Chains A and B, each alone.
Chain A
């Protein structure tokens, strides 16, 4: 069964460093998402991406964040200058189409900013 994959599973970085989180969505899916979950809290929407552009972004997704689909399979989230408060689990998700389609999530990348 196809699944969303994410690498790395755990990333440790120093404050101020750039990180890139990588995702490979399910191959025939067209809509891609990033969410984050601070430890012990709820899952929060960051950004949605369709047709090579951002569809919607949340207030969390400020100028320090960017997303890219550099090729036909990868979907990346870049944080330019990490802050302590960026420490969280980051989930990638994808879905085939609009409407009733279900979003399927990757296993997550745990980002720790020291």
Chain B
């Protein structure tokens, strides 16, 4: 069965600190897609990054980077030099290729608070 676990329910950091959000997933599919979405206090869901299961290359995009490791089924997300505007709930999500409808399975979310 597919499942996404975000063990950290809340994280609090001081501005300019680096912060890593953990995500562990379960799937029996060999091809799948992983996502991070941000939900700021205004409530909308904002797409941040996507990774395909067949591409384990880790990347950096501005202050965001991610570490995808199939061996440990983890897809962690790092914000470098955090800012107050990064305060939000962050959701990790999984979509399996065999699922024709393409639904997303979300984790419970991690609430990040960045204090000035």
Contact = CB atoms under 8 A, between A and B. Distances in A.
Contacts, number: 68
29 contacts: A31-B101, A33-B101, A41-B108, A42-B91, A42-B107, A42-B108, A43-B104, A45-B105, A48-B102, A48-B103, A55-B100, A55-B101, A56-B99, A56-B100, A93-B104, A98-B102, A99-B33, A99-B97, A100-B50, A101-B102, A102-B47, A103-B35, A103-B102, A103-B104, A104-B47, A105-B37, A106-B44, A107-B44, A108-B44
Most chain A CB atoms below 10 A, which of B33, B35, B100, B101: B101
Interface string A24-54: 0000000101010000011111001010000
Interface of A: 31, 33, 35, 41-45, 48, 50, 55-56, 58, 89, 91, 93, 95, 98-108, 110
B45 interface: yes
A89 B43 contact: yes
Nearest to B105: A45
Contact of A100 (B33, B105, B107): B33
Contacts of A45: 103-105
A42 B101 contact: no
